[in-house]
Amino acid sequence: MIKLGILASGRGSNFQSIIDSIKNDYLSAEIKILITDNPDAYAINRAKENNIPYVCLKMSKSKSEYYEMVVEQLQKNEVELVILAGFMRIVARPLLDVYKMRIMNIHPALLPSFRGLHGQRQALEYGVKIAGCTVHFVDDGVDTGPIITQAAVPVYSDDTEDSISQRILALEHKIYPYAIKLFSEDRLVIYDNIVTILNEIKSDDKLFVPTQKIS
């Protein structure tokens, strides 16, 4: 059973999808702590409802001092994998050093396209016909770390940022637990910035679904 630390700033819907995946036995994991930078984050309510310890660490010091406090909380709770679930800050050292290639993030676009904020809006403004989401390991760039898995949805001519965001979010809730599951099963190998999934199940419809059936 892998020990997770969640970092979130807002409503925490991906946090909830991970909680649900643990409850339905899809994911063998334990969420040891929620760390938030926002005392009003709805993610705190989710933690309370599920008896998950939480702490609010407001960004009041330098970035390095802040992430020293984050690392202290993670290590105190014996966290093995750090999950960014709508954490609205750029991760920095020493967190990046202590948890090298053990920090995951989900981005609402098909990386390496449309990095940074408002990936869905960027995709619509560019006129893409396929959009989606990406789970990746975090490095010292912005959405530049090795890609773990992706899923896609079609973009229609009458789509708005809100409508495409909702369809992408539904996929986020599926592929994030999937990526964590792969990590917990030691099925992810990183070489030359490329992630290989061991014992990957292949499918002709891989474009629109994750690379393994998930519940």
Read off the amino acid at residue 162: D
Tell me how far apart the alpha carbons of residues 75 and 77 are, in angstroms, rounded to a whole number: 5
Query: Computed from CA positions of residues 97, 186, 215, 116, in that sequence, does the dihedral angle turn out positive or negative?
Result: positive
Residue 9's nearest CA partner among 73, 56, 52 is: 56
How many angstroms separate the CA atoms of 181 and 110, rounded? 21
Beta-sheet strands, E only, within 130-171: 130-137, 147-154
Q: What is the Cα–Cα distance from 109 to 141, expressed in whole angstroms?
A: 16
Which residue's entry shows tokens 């891989």? Answer: 206
Please list the active-site residues. Answer: 107
- Here the tokens at position 214 are 């998930």
